[in-house]
Structure 1
Amino acid sequence: MPRRSTQSSTGTLFLPSRLAQVAPLKLAIALTLATALFLAPALWNGFPLVYYDSVDYLQMPFTWQMPVYRTAGYGLVTIAGRLAHSLWIIPLLQSALAAYVLYEALRRFLPRQPEAVLVPIAGLLLLTSGLPWFTSELMPDAFTGILVLSFALLVCDDGLLGPARRIGLTAILALAIAVHTSHAALAGGLLLSALMVSLAAPGLWPGLRSRLKLPLMAFLIGIALAASANAVVTGRFFLLQDNAVLTLGLFVEDGLAETYLDHACSKPRPKLDLCIARHRLPHNANMFLWHDHDFNRLGGWTGTGMREEARQIVRGAIKSYPLTYLWDSVKLTAQQLAMLRTADGVAPMRYLIGDAIARHYPKESAAFLAAHQQHGTNFDALNMVQVPLLWLASAALPLLLWLAWRRRDPDAVLLLGIMTLAFLGNAFVCGALSNPNDRYQNRIAWLAILAVVISLGRWYRRDRSVPAPNFPRDRVP
């Protein structure tokens, strides 16, 4: 029987149809093994990993209460723990979603037997990135990379997904957007950037604008889910809590708050209570927001005085020093790009979260107390390997993007462009609008490892799309 190939409306040259057929059992085994690899840190720990914020999320489905500095979106995931009467269902769900989205990415961009390379690549990500540490943790950070990859798959749809898989990826993208406000900002930025590209260069990616319909639908559903979750818990619809206090913490860390207070406190109005404390404020946002005496004296997160003070200082500092604020934002974004340590915040949590687990998951309390995390673990050796690799892979993204452009590989250009924008957008949202932490950039850095693997695989196998007629001429043989 003669080999045949087809070409979709997107201009992608498909492999022979017999190679596109995947044995269901073989695929199921590959997905199961990949899920197990992404669950490995939790299995090693003897219990799902927990972070400082985890206590609020795991209690939410029971107490229906939410601190003023939190949102309820991730409660859409942690409610699965209550329904299953076990916290293990949460990392299992996150690991399975990561494995499935990774498979779809390999099927799309390395289409020859993707199920055969799924497990080796999942193993590579276990050794070289923080992805399994996030999928094993009771935190929304597991969904950051899943969001970017799901978005890229829908934008780069080759016509072979089919209705069921398109709906599945749209649902996964909507959930990933809903679980955290930083994800909503990241998805919105990606969507706007893709729309601008489709308008500015419609001939380079034919049909791109029409393929943005599902990501747009997922974005709207995700926003609605997040606002609805907040409404269920608080009784009012909103997407983001008043973040003036959080922004003040950022200004305290970079010194802008002290600079503004030195200027403002020399005037009779406005009279600010932090004037007397301006020279003893800690130059660390987390220390200020969680341990500072003056912050707590003014009521902390819940105090009306602190919130009003924060609004005045933030508005006044931006108005008085706009260029300083912009330059600080650039520096914080760059700082966040370089902070890539794995297992940030994996520390003993028995005193912070132990009572909540004993109250809501009593059968799992003994396993929590016996977990490796409760005895302290040093990740220096792990990061001696992972951090340099993640730095190199992240720095290689623009180079890979340029090489894909030179090779006239529009699918790779689109994928790598989305990843590069996601890296920058994540660093800006987390670094410049919050405050830099290793886990913020590490949660997305595994995509750089995947980008290197896909780029090398496409070059080795000569897998590439059929470019549009007006795509730039190939300069590389």
Structure 2
Amino acid sequence: MVSCKPGRRSITTQTLTARRTGSTWVWISALIIPVLLLAPAIWNGYPLLQYDTGGYLARWYEGYLVPSRSTVFGIYLHYGESSYFWINLGIQALATLWILQLVLRVLGMAQPARLVAISLVLILTTALPWLASMLLTDIFAGLSVLSLFVLVLHGDKISVPEKLLLFVFTAFAGATHSATLAVLLGLCCVGWIVRPLLRGRIAVSGLLQGSLTIVIGAAMLLAANFALSGQLAWTPGGYGVAFGRMMQDGIVARYLRAHCPEQKLKLCPYRDQLPATADDFLWGNSMFNTLGRFKGLDDEMGFIVLHSLAEYPAMQAEAVIVATAQQLIDVATGEGTHGWIPHTYGIIERYMPAQLGPMRAAHQQHWDINFKVINRIHVPVALASMLAVVAILAAGIWRRRLDDITLLAATVSVALLGNAFVCGVISGPHDRYGARMVWIATFVALIAAFRNFADRSGTPEDSFPL
């Protein structure tokens, strides 16, 4: 009995020490990670801006719908305007930290030191801090995939308040961009399809909750559109964006050459002068402006898109495969985030003149950001991470081991492929669309690496220190 007492005191001391250490790591992660996530914006002296930022900023003020510019995200930005948008960046950083730790927690890897280690690697090697530091919807694309994963597959492991907050976050993320909503919808559809094959690994209640976030997200967007514009309508521009991709692939020119003799289309006089890229057509100084932009050409673009799909199925199929494959490897950080974004500058000058000083003084507006150097790290890491996620999924299927890591790898793989399909086929391949999503592949690869190290060392998962 006497010999047991020192042992008990020793265990108690170790437990208290471990708790103090854990508490220290919790505070470190809570304070340091959000700051590091916002390091690009802090260094810049102002939130990072992008080509599309101005369109979102203007939604509150202009009172009409603009193609591909969510009013939900516009309202979100407006309510952070008085803080020079630092409130928005704070929300984005804290949401990132919350969802990263939530994923680790439901996977049984909730050690704070591990969260710090994984977060640091993501911050140093992926686009994550640049996304969190930017006034753009892109940070919510990857986060929503992870939040949907937790909600659908591990909702029983989180509290009711957390589940409600996660539900609202996922719906909001879907409402910020149609492509994000489409990816989430695709994930839910795949979930319903494979559920009978997974022997109860996916609960019906979880899938219902995940699917309901899509409905609420869509309703949120319709309500915001009605509130700001008086129109109960979806965000416009789908046909125009798809038209641009088909024009870039040569399909529009072929259609016009074949049908202009008998069809009186506005674009017929320009059929031999079409720009080489969709960006040049939609956002450059092209005949698109001359013919009234979306308002003047939307019906005609929709007509050509639908008829081209029917008339050239083989050409369309080839373009879809090429665009999806290209989008998968277009993952460089920083597209559209440089010193020449006149529309965004003009919107800030027109509606937020008080912010002109800090905006113009920022490093971005002086061309001080060198993404070429950054992408020497980001691009190889992104491509290697995608290969690693596919390997993790393939190994799980080969071994018939559908553990949580395999299911997470499957979720991310489907999300990456869906994102590449939706963005590459509809809008055409862009690095921005890949970079905003591919960091979650690095996250999965890091989780698998830490789990594998714990298994090899024989350390119990709940006591492994990193």
Is TM-score (shorter-chain normalized) higher than 0.5? Answer: yes
TM-aligned CA distance change 1:421 to 1:68, over 3 Å: closer
CA contact (8 A) 2:183 2:418 kept: yes
Structure 1 counterpart of 2:415? 422
Partner Cα separation in structure 2 for residue 187 and residue 133 of structure 1: 23
Change (3 A) 1:25 1:236: farther
Could you tell me which residue of structure 2 aligns to residue 160 of structure 1? 157
Quickly say closer, same or farther: Cα 1:403–1:350, change in 2 above 3 A: closer
CA drift at 1:361: 3.9
SS in 2 for 1:368: helix
Within-5 A mapping of 1:74-113: 74-82=73-81, 84-113=82-111
**Change over 3 Å in CA distance of 1:460–1:158 after alignment to 2:** farther
Residue identity opposite 1:31 in structure 2: A
Q: Distance in 1 between matches of 2:218 and 2:361?
A: 38
The counterpart of 1:372, out of the listed 341, 347, 363, is: 363
* Structure 2 letter corresponding to 1:36: V
Given that 1:38 and 1:126 are in contact with CA atoms closer than 8 Å, whether structure 2 keeps it comes out as: yes
Among 317, 321, 329, the alignment partner of 1:338 is 329
Identity of aligned residues (%): 31
Answer yes or no: is the 8 Å Cα contact 1:336–1:430 preserved in 2: yes
Q: CA deviation at 1:239?
A: 2.8
Question: How large is the RMSD of aligned CA atoms in angstroms?
Answer: 2.5
Which residue in the other structure is 2:441 paired with? 448
Cα deviation for residue 254 of structure 1 reads: 0.7
**Separation in 2, partners of 1:320, 1:361:** 48
Partner of 2:404: 411
Given residue 105 of structure 2, which amino acid in structure 1 is its aligned partner?
R
| Mapped contact 2:68–2:178 kept (Cα < 8 A) | no
Could you tell me which residue of structure 2 aligns to residue 251 of structure 1? 246
Number of the residue aligned with 1:141:
138
Segment drifting more, 139-148 vs 387-396: 387-396
Which ranges of structure 1 fall in alignment gaps of 5 or more residues? 2-18, 465-477
Asked if 2 retains the 8 angstrom alpha-carbon contact of 1:341 and 1:387, the reply is yes
Matched to 2:446, the amino acid is: V
SS in 2 for 1:307: helix
Measure, in 1, the Cα distance between the counterparts of 2:345 and 2:386: 37
Match of 1:125 in 2: 122
Identify which of 311, 315, 318 aligns with 2:309. 318
Equivalent pair of 1:349/1:373 in contact (CA under 8 Å): no
Q: Please tell me whether the aligned partners of residues 202 and 208 of structure 1 are also in contact (alpha carbons under 8 angstroms).
A: no
Residue 333 of structure 1, CA deviation: 0.6
Task: For residues 161-188 of structure 1, give each alpha carbon's deviation from its aligned partner in whole angstroms, at most 9, with x where no partner exists.
Answer: 1111111211211111111111111111
Match of 1:434 among 427, 440, 445: 427
Q: Which segments of 5 or more consecutive residues in structure 2 lack a partner in the other structure?
A: 5-17, 459-466
> Residue 174 of structure 1 corresponds to which residue in structure 2?
171
* 1:398 has 2:390 as partner: yes
Does structure 1 residue 274 correspond to structure 2 residue 267?
yes
Q: Deviations over 1:251-296 (max 9, x none)?
A: 111111111112112x42x222322322221120000112243222
| 1:453 maps to amino acid | L
The aligned counterpart of 2:15 is: none
Aligned to 1:354: 345
Quick check: which one's helix share is greater? 2
> What is the CA distance between 1:348 and its match in structure 2?
1.3
Instruction: Name the residue aligned to 1:194.
Output: 191
What residue in structure 2 maps to residue 385 of structure 1?
Answer: 377
Contact between 1:348 and 1:374, CA under 8 Å: does it hold in 2?
A: yes
- Aligned residue in 2 for 1:34: 33
In structure 1, give the amino acid aligned to 2:355: E
Check the 8 A contact 2:248/2:277 in 1, yes or no: yes
Most deviating of 351-360 and 283-292: 351-360
CA contact (8 A) 2:66 2:236 kept: no
For the structure 1 residues 308 and 214, does the alpha-carbon distance in structure 2 shift closer, same or farther, using more than 3 Å as the test?
closer
- Tell me if the contact between 1:50 and 1:349 (Cα under 8 Å) persists in the aligned partners: no
SS of residue in 1 equivalent to 2:157? coil
**Partner AA of 2:79 in structure 1:** A
Shift in Å at residue 103 of structure 1? 0.9
Name the aligned partner's letter for residue 238 of structure 2. N
Deviations 1:284-333 (A, max 9, x none): 00001122432222112222xx2232122212211110121122111101
State the match for 2:11 in structure 1: none
